[in-house]
Amino acid sequence: MDHRLVFAPARPAACVLAIAVATTMLTALIGSVAFAQAPPATPAPAAPAAPKAAPKAAPKAAPTQKPAEIPAPQQPQAQAEQPQLIFSPWTKFCLKGQEANAKQVCFTGKDGRVESGMPVVAAVLIEPENDPKKVLRVTLPLGMSIQPGTRVIVDSGQPMTGPYVICFNNGCMADYEASGELIGKLKKGQGLVIQGINGAGQPISLVLPLQDFAKAYDGPPTDPKKFEEQQKQLQDELQKRAEDARKKLEAQQPSAPQSAAPAAPSR
């Protein structure tokens, strides 16, 4: 199984945006901003092909090997333990580059993270101005097996498969064409299921709730200052949960018996 990753540096515009907004969730979109404004990335390379020149005493040709596929979600083998995630709301941003002819690009995204604040899964719908082609970009954490690619499912509908296209420090991304039909399903759906295979060969399945997607998608872009306030509140909540969990763990641990102090030597 191929575990190689492809990394690409973030563009300066994305870095400036991250500093200006100063949020945790936006780090999951940094790669999307940079990647959307850059030429299409080359997909993660497959295993190197065998040399063309074959030995004279070559055995009979074996059947052509099919590319790896994401296994069905109902497979009986062990599945990776699913983390308890805290989700940000679906949020819409519209950004424009500094170039004279730069087009505005709108991003409607959501992420899920663990209590420590580390992002685990994210999805963002990317809409370039005056461009009929829209992209649904999903992000899974680093350490995933690259070769099988990803699957996305809206509720219990027909699954779609897509390869990873690039990896940044915040995770590895896969793109799906966001047709009008798919956007309609996202608006009416309850959950966006994102699946992949981790480095141990175990399937993972993470669900991003869709209840507030339609409101964010059809509504105006979010004010970055308001979003920063929302993220600060979320970060405070994460810190409070982490502190409560620490106190609970300490309360469950038996206190160590105090050893009696040694008596002073008599003279």
Q: Does residue 126 or residue 24 have the better pLDDT?
A: 126
Percent of the chain surpassing pLDDT 70:
63
**CATH 2.60.40.1880, domain 12-41+78-245, yes or no:** yes
List the 160-162 sheet strands across, edge first: 160-162, 150-154, 191-197, 203-209
> What is the pLDDT at residue 192?
97
Answer whether residue 63 shows pLDDT above 50: no
Q: Does residue 179 or residue 233 have the better pLDDT?
A: 179
Answer whether residue 16 shows pLDDT above 60: no
* Extents of the domains making up the chain: 12-41+78-245
Q: How far apart are CA 41 and CA 92, in angstroms?
A: 24
**Pairing of β 191-197 and β 203-209:** antiparallel
pTM value is 0.63
DSSP 132: S
> What is the pLDDT at residue 214?
96
Burial class (CB in 10 A: 0-12, 13-18, 19+), 26: buried
Q: What is the pLDDT of residues 149-160, one digit of tens each?
A: 999 999 999 999
Q: What is the pLDDT of residues 243-257, one digit of tens each?
A: 777 788 888 887 655
Q: How far apart are CA 237 and CA 231, in angstroms?
A: 10
Mean pLDDT score across all residues of the chain: 73
> What is the pLDDT at residue 114?
86
Q: Does residue 88 or residue 36 have the better pLDDT?
A: 88
> What is the pLDDT at residue 101?
84
Answer whether residue 109 shows pLDDT above 90: yes
Q: Which helix (H) or strand (E) holds 86?
A: strand 86-87
Q: Residue 236: pLDDT band by 50, 70, 90 thresholds? A: confident
| 8 A C-beta contact, residue 47 and residue 142 | no
Instruction: Give the mean pLDDT of 66-74.
Output: 47
